[in-house]
Structure 1
Amino acid sequence: MKLFDAHTHLQDDRLYPEREAVLRAAAEAGVAGIAVKGRTERDWERVAALADQYPCVHPSFGLHPMHGGGRTGNWRATLIRFLLRYPAAGIGETGLDFTKEVPDHADQESVFRDHLSVAAELGRPVTIHCRGAWDRLTAVLREVSVPGGMMIHCCAAPPTALEALLEMGAFISFSGTVTRPDDHRASQIVARVPLDRLLIETDAPDHVPCSPSAEKQLKPNEPARLPDVLASVASLHGSAREKIASASSGNARRFFGFES
């Protein structure tokens, strides 16, 4: 089975120094494509370097809602420069996070809308983060056009929001959180996602899949753990692993326009 990890942060300090070993382990685990998403202006060059060096990497550039407060005054122009430099690149990770750690909701929404306007201008796919803001997220997305498509990463949407996002054409991606026995939301929504909208991801280095091996859980997550996510998604979806693998890989390649 050839897999595609739809969302990672290989530029993170926990993985970037070991990127050769990380990518080698991913290939051995059957992961043939890896989407790497920017989080701050400071890490966009690392994302670019990974895309330049490794054909399996698909880059995206954006500001994570928890890090947008540290942006520079010309961040939007810098984002456009990276996107023009990489004509196949996506936009993200961006979105809304209304948990208590990120209090400035109005600023987040302004930055998110800027990302969406750039996406519409350039026709790029957008990777969206959402926590505690599902009603506001769906309201914003109903107001704008996202011609390049959108994916909701590490999705934990309530069923009503999930249905609204699917109606708007969103792809839905699930991470290692679905392997947790206490992830009751996953049992509510994974089976509701049609095969032609389903993606899987590790969100490496975060969201390490649950495993009988405590040693594995102490390490940073990495794309080589994607088969663990696949197994849980397949079980929750009620579909064979091979079917989920084929569908999610094909969806990711279409969504990202990934040719390698």
Structure 2
Amino acid sequence: MFIDAHNHLHDPRLGDPAPVIAEMRASGIDACMVNATCEDDWPLVEALAMEHPDFVLPAYGVHPWKAHLAAPGWEDRLHALLDRSPGAAIGECGLDRWVKEPDIAVQSPVFEAQLRLAREFDRPVVIHCLKAWQPLFESFGRMQPPRRFLMHSFNGSIETARRLIPLGAYFSFSGYFLQARKAEVVETFRQLPPDRILIETDAPDMLPPDAFITHPLEGANHPANLSAIARGFAAAMGLDSPGIAVRTTENFCRFFRG
């Protein structure tokens, strides 16, 4: 059985979550972490977690692309949500210099506020970082991360990873990186500590190559593709699929539950 370490099951591009979950279960997926990206997502993710408590693990946060949309009082409302959701993580949050707006100066305080909440609640945090490694370490200098955090869809260098590992980082591999032109990402994962590796779909985004699409969905990545992605990842890593399943599931449980 596999665990999808990062998706957006509430996204309307996936349609009704119930049949999607049924397809995920049938394909060998035991659970998934569903990540909110803005305050409007929070009640949707919360409802999924309440409706499917044995399958959906919630994460509530503000994505860097939406940092400028965080309404006054958002931090207090997130605090209240985390207070009534003892099993929730924080995320998706982070920093991104691939987009021009909002600026890093807008993203950073929103990100650091979520790091502060993660430390206060001792919750794992899910981090999106794209072309913003130096700002990430600067934020960590101002606000220490919690004792465990996930670099989702990690595509940084092994040198960056080695700076993150002592801080408590885990790293998740997305099927998008099974493209031949992303071979350097696979090579980085080969050098990571085996107990820090997870797998994810980032559904409905980050489509894998056609060979790893078992559940076609027009214009979107179906989260049930995870099992095929895991097999592709295992082959790329020189491991077997059952071994990847056991290892990444154990790693996820350690990451999520402490």
Could you say which TM-score interval applies, normalised by the shorter chain?
over 0.9
SS at match of 1:196: helix
Deviation at 1:135, TM superposition (A): 2.2
CA displacement, residues 85-139 of structure 1 (integer Å, 9 cap, x when unaligned): 1101000000000113334111111111100001111101000000001122133
Q: Could you tell me which residue of structure 1 aligns to residue 128 of structure 2?
A: 129
What count of residue pairs does the alignment treat as equivalent? 256
Q: Could you tell me which residue of structure 2 aligns to residue 19 of structure 1?
A: 17
* 1:8 correspondence with 2:13: no
Aligned partner of 1:196: which letter? D
Q: Could you tell me which residue of structure 2 aligns to residue 58 of structure 1?
A: 57
Given candidates 33, 36, 39, the residue that maps to 2:37 is 39
Deviation at 1:4, TM superposition (A): 0.3
* 1:237 correspondence with 2:223: no
Mapped to 1, the partners of 2:228 and 2:179 lie a distance apart of: 11
Mapped to 2, the partners of 1:103 and 1:122 lie a distance apart of: 27
Mapped to 2, the partners of 1:102 and 1:166 lie a distance apart of: 29
**Change in 2 beyond 3 A, CA 1:167/1:215:** closer
Deviation at 1:215, TM superposition (A): 8.7
CA contact 1:209–1:228 (8 Å) conserved in 2: no
RMSD of Structure 2 on Structure 1 (CA): 1.8
Q: How does 1:128-207 map to 2 (within 5 A)?
A: 128-207=127-206
CA displacement, residues 4-34 of structure 1 (integer Å, 9 cap, x when unaligned): 000010111112x321110000000110011
Deviation at 1:182, TM superposition (A): 1.3
Q: What is the TM-score with the length of structure 1 in the denominator?
A: 0.92
SS at match of 2:154: coil
Mapped to 2, the partners of 1:185 and 1:115 lie a distance apart of: 31
**Change in 2 beyond 3 A, CA 1:38/1:215:** closer
**Change in 2 beyond 3 A, CA 1:9/1:215:** closer
Deviation at 1:187, TM superposition (A): 3.0
Q: How does 1:204-243 map to 2 (within 5 A)?
A: 204-212=203-211, 216=216, 218-243=218-243
SS at match of 1:50: helix
SS at match of 1:14: helix
Mapped to 2, the partners of 1:96 and 1:67 lie a distance apart of: 11
Deviation at 1:236, TM superposition (A): 2.7
Q: Which deviates further from its counterpart, 46-55 or 171-180?
A: 171-180
Deviation at 1:174, TM superposition (A): 0.8
SS at match of 2:226: helix
Give the percent of matched residue pairs that are identical in Structure 1 and Structure 2: 34
CA contact 1:4–1:248 (8 Å) conserved in 2: yes
CA contact 1:204–1:222 (8 Å) conserved in 2: yes
**Change in 2 beyond 3 A, CA 1:18/1:109:** same
CA contact 1:116–1:126 (8 Å) conserved in 2: yes
Deviation at 1:225, TM superposition (A): 0.5
Point out where structure 2 has 5 or more consecutive residues left out of the alignment.
none
Q: Which deviates further from its counterpart, 118-127 or 246-255?
A: 246-255
Mapped to 1, the partners of 2:123 and 2:215 lie a distance apart of: 39
**Change in 2 beyond 3 A, CA 1:95/1:83:** same
SS at match of 1:7: strand
Q: Could you tell me which residue of structure 1 aligns to residue 97 of structure 2?
A: 98
Q: Could you tell me which residue of structure 2 aligns to residue 71 of structure 1?
A: 70
Mapped to 2, the partners of 1:228 and 1:137 lie a distance apart of: 32
Mapped to 2, the partners of 1:117 and 1:8 lie a distance apart of: 23
